[in-house]
Structure 1
Amino acid sequence: MDRNQMHPAIERVLGNIEKVMIGKRDVAELSLVALLAEGHVLLEDVPGVGKTMMVRALAKSVGAAFKRIQFTPDLLPSDVTGVSIYNPKEMEFQFRPGPIMGNIILADEINRTSPKTQSALLEGMEESSVTIDGVTHRLERPFFVMATQNPIEYEGTYPLPEAQLDRFLLKMKMGYPEIADEMEVLNRAQRIPPIEDLETVMDLAELRSLQTEIKEVHVDQTIKRYIVEIAGGTRNHSSVYLGASPRGSIALMKAAQAYAFMYGRDYVLPDDIQYLAPAVFVHRIILRSEAKFEGITAEEVVERVIARVSVPVQRLVK
């Protein structure tokens, strides 16, 4: 894709993030895709690669309220959503909002807390609201969750069930930086952390406007069929026990609309689908035991499916 064609407002945000995140433009782009598509991200990676910095930089860039939730085994649902406390002076219960009542949420090590507490966050992700003591509280737009989990440590964790993994628009990894990038990280670490000086380059009203505009990006019928055939290919693959659901197909379409808009187009291309499909489908696929034993990964399955499905050649512009 030609980055010179990127939407000016989105380019400002990405450029701002790159002031503190070295060599991670692809991760920043996918994070913005999820934010613009009103989805959420599951980030699976080891500690210390900049996950918190990425989310903080994104929140600062768009002027959003940033909240971090450190998930632990003893964390309660009310620690996430908030709680009603009786005020004897006013003789009434008053609601004290929890950290979920922000715009951009870092759910750190989500698999370290109980399924009940996980569900409190996932309800907010799915419904854009939380229910406390029978009262429903709407979450302010934008509402974006980046949840992290450590792929190395499994002891004492509660893996997210497939139905809950399906709630995340994208799953991705940050990875370690290249040598030159890590050296630049060291150079910057000697000075005042640049995150403190990061300025807001887009306000929430503009972000909400972009989220609305993205829904108008044209998705041709041939592209929709392409999405469905790729999703169907994951269901019929010999290495797959459970393939991508129709929710996954919808997620891929929405992500592609956001990605096309990001690059200044009002229509989706097959290239958008091919680029995004692995990140959208990888966590929605359950491999057969024998495939895991052979070392086959979900990423490889998606790539093989994409290679098999015929690419649309019809005119795609409205």
Structure 2
Amino acid sequence: MLELEHFQAKWAPVRVKRMRHDKNPNGFEAGRRLAGAVFAVAVLLAPNLAGAQAPDPGPGADTPAPAPMQGQPVAPNGLARLSVSAQFAADRKPIRSGLNWRVVSESVDGASPRIVARSSEPEPAFSLPPGNYTVHAGYGFASGTKRVSLGQQGLRDQVQISAGALSLAGSIGDAPIPGTLLSFSVFVPLQGNSEGRLITNGAKAGEIIRLPEGTYHVVSTYGDSNAIQRADVKVENGKVTDATLHHRAAKVTLKLVASAGGEAFAGTAFSVLTPGGDVIREAIGAFPQVILAEGDYVLIARQEGQVYSRDFKVESGSDRDIEVLAK
């Protein structure tokens, strides 16, 4: 129908021109001859017009190819469908989320491989020209790769990934630590070094960290000073490992007061030191809060050119005020 409409629109002015010369014999004869030529062309084109139709888009095509213009050959779509999914290598269970797919075309005549398709769907289907491709499935820090040969009939294939996941939390005794006060770093041990290679830094409590199966070293930081715990955790294929690191720490509120229980001086500069003199934390304010690992400390307070100090002890789970007397 598209070809036929184009044909009628093209030749409509001829019919108008013929009607304009009906009263002129010479013009009529010329019009008659031209009409005969038009009729002959129409007869020749009739078989092509009768058989013209939109080409088959082929398997996996997103949209049908537009019908060609008159006189142009009808070309096939030329695409095939590549459907892929991923599964855990150990138990062959399907992976339903957290996937990132990339399809890379193989180099031809020395050309560099290039990414021709991407998707974050669990089971994507790509429309591609037949050929050889490398399919890469990323699952967090784990991945799987497979080489495929795509024919015109299409292909459905699977990629296996040896991976699991890790979910981390922290506690003081039996009391969970709020996730906003925790951060985690995950390392791969290398040659006796537990923190040989950093995988992720600043992971949050409850976050699902997808990793290749194996043993990892986890560092948990409670607050922003020295309340740190470490543990080795094993990630198993196809499983989520929940790991809780138990801290021995407390939250202390620093104050400079004229007398015990008195009002705190504003704008005081505090320094928390180890008994050996190493600075652990510094803060400025009337009553800043600091999270410290249990142990012995020295607190120094500076106010209007005066320096005051006291020793104090932190006990795990015992949050309290630490007052320095300004005298």
Q: TM-score normalized by structure 1?
A: 0.21
Specify which structure has the higher proportion of helix. Answer: 1
Specify which structure has the higher proportion of strand. Answer: 2
Structure whose alpha-carbon radius of gyration is higher:
2
